[in-house]
Structure formats: structure tokens, C-alpha cells
């Protein structure tokens, strides 16, 4: 359901569902995927600090293939941030 909201641009509705999925996930890979998608939702809302935090949590839990996705998201954030 969270992913559906994400694709519809309803990021505020997706965020608590991803947070709940992180709590309920049984394995590291599922948690990492939820953290990564949570980061996408925050990034789409231009909440870059929360997006970076979510991506960092994904990287901590992730295997190599997912780390590449997280790194790509960090790269996108680098293009979006205005300090």
C-alpha cells in the first residue's frame, strides 16, 4: 500500500506505512528496502535531511546490490540540495 501511495505522489500517506513496515519486517533486507523507499518519499517531499537519514539506515542493513541503489539516491540528493 505504501508503494502505491508513493507512485500516486501521496508521500504523506506513504511515510507512516513505510515506518510501520520497518518495525514489522523480519529480515534485514526487507527493512533495508523499506528504509530506502522511505528515503524516496522524503526526497520527493524535499525533506533532504530525513531522506539522508533513511538512506543511511538502508545502507547499514543492506547487501551490496541495494547499497548501489542507496548510493544512487545519495547522488540524486547531491544534485537537489541547496545549502
Q: What is the pLDDT of residues 5-44, one digit of tens each?
A: 999 999 999 999 999 999 999 998 899 889 989 999 999 9
Cα distances (Å, whole numbers) of residue 62 to 17, 26, 34:
20, 14, 11
C-beta atoms surrounding 14 within 10 Å: 25
Mean pLDDT over 47-74 rounds to 75
- Is pLDDT of 49 > 60? yes
Mean pLDDT over 38-57 rounds to 92
pLDDT at position 82:
47
What pTM does this model have?
A: 0.77
Cα distances (Å, whole numbers) of residue 59 to 23, 30, 35, 78:
17, 12, 9, 17
Question: d(Cα 54, Cα 42) in Å, to the nearest integer?
Answer: 8
Amino acid at each position: 500500500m505504501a508503494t502505491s501511495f508513493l507512485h500516486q505522489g501521496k508521500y504523506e500517506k506513504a511515510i507512516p506505512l513505510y515506518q510501520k513496515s520497518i518495525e514489522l519486517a523480519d529480515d534485514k533486507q526487507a527493512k533495508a528496502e523499506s528504509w530506502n523507499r522511505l528515503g524516496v518519499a522524503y526526497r520527493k517531499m524535499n525533506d533532504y535531511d530525513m531522506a539522508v537519514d533513511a538512506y543511511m539506515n538502508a545502507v547499514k542493513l543492506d547487501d551490496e546490490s541495494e547499497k548501489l541503489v542507496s548510493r544512487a539516491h545519495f547522488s540524486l540528493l547531491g544534485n537537489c540540495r541547496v545549502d
